[in-house]
């Protein structure tokens, strides 16, 4: 009991003294705004919705949320990443408004890596999945 009382008394004296000094505190949060690795990251968001119907009573709907991220490694090298969260399906308006059972959700990632060593030369690697329906490849169209 005596040791507990002495410990509490010492903590009661030492803690206010330590609080008056501005001791350096490390920032261990990797997602901090002051983190130098995140200072080159830019992020934006977009959202869209579309729907349509024909005079025959068939229709569709599509909603999309996109997270755009751009990271600049240096003035010559830049990475763009888009994460598209897409929800789509069909509907029937013949006898009333009814959604069909073909509701689908997909994540369609896209990215591009651009390297521009000089004003007259640039290299780009791009991966894109913009189409929701299967179409014939460009080399099979002829």
Q: How far is CA 9 from the centre of its chain?
A: 51
The domain tally of the chain equals: 1
pLDDT for the residue numbered 89: 85
Residue 58 domain-assigned (yes or no): yes
Match 């996109």 to its residue by tokens: 66
pLDDT tens for 108-137 read: 889 999 999 998 999 999 988 765 444 555
Confidence of residue 141 (pLDDT cuts 50, 70, 90): very low
Measured CA to CA in angstroms, residue 116 lies from 52, 61, 73 at distances of 42, 40, 12
Residue 12 domain-assigned (yes or no): no
Range of the domain at 115: 41-130
CA atoms within a 13 Å half-sphere pointing along the CA-CB vector of 27: 8
Q: What is the spatial distance between Cα 114 and Cα 90, in angstroms, rounded to a whole number?
A: 38
The whole-model pTM stands at 0.58
CA-based max dimension of the chain: 94
């Amino acid at each position: 009991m005596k040791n507990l009382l002495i410990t509490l008394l010492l903590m009661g004296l030492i803690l206010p003294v330590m609080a008056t000094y501005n001791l350096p505190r490390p920032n261990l949060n990797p997602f901090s705004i002051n983190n130098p690795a995140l200072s080159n990251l830019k992020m934006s968001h977009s959202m869209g919705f579309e729907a349509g119907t024909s005079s025959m009573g068939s229709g569709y709907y599509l909603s999309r949320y996109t997270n755009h991220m751009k990271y600049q490694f240096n003035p010559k090298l830049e990475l763009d990443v888009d994460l598209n969260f897409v929800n789509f399906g069909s509907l029937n308006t013949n006898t009333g408004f009814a959604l069909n059972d073909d509701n689908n959700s997909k994540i369609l990632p896209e990215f591009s890596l651009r390297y521009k060593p000089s004003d007259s030369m640039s290299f780009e690697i791009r991966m894109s999945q913009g189409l929701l329906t299967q179409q014939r490849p460009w080399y099979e169209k002829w």
